[in-house]
């Protein structure tokens, strides 16, 4: 294994460099019509259930983040 000198990450011996380079230089892009993305209010109960109950996140931090998301949504919808 080779250690990247910048971050200390271990790079596997058989890493497919040429394939990775091709993917980065010419990503596969869908030619299909792009779906419409609609900005909606966050599902507060679902977020709290998933983050706090299932994954042990701090309830105060999750609640504050939800409030920031709601504030950002209100700001972005004004004037459009």
pLDDT at 33: 85
Q: Are 57 and 51 in contact (CB under 8 A)?
A: yes
Predicted TM-score (pTM) of this structure: 0.51
pLDDT at 4: 54
- Please state, in angstroms and rounded to a whole number, the distance separating the CA atoms of residues 12 and 45: 42
Averages of pLDDT over runs of 10 residues in the chain (80 residues) are 62 85 89 82 93 96 94 66
């Amino acid at each position: 294994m080779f250690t990247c000198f910048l971050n200390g990450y271990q790079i596997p011996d058989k890493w497919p460099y040429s394939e990775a380079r091709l993917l980065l230089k010419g990503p596969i892009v869908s030619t299909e019509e792009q779906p419409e993305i609609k900005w909606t209010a966050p599902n507060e109960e679902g977020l709290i259930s998933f983050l706090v109950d299932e994954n042990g996140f701090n309830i105060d931090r999750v609640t504050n983040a939800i409030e920031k998301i709601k504030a950002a949504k209100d700001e972005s919808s004004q004037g459009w």
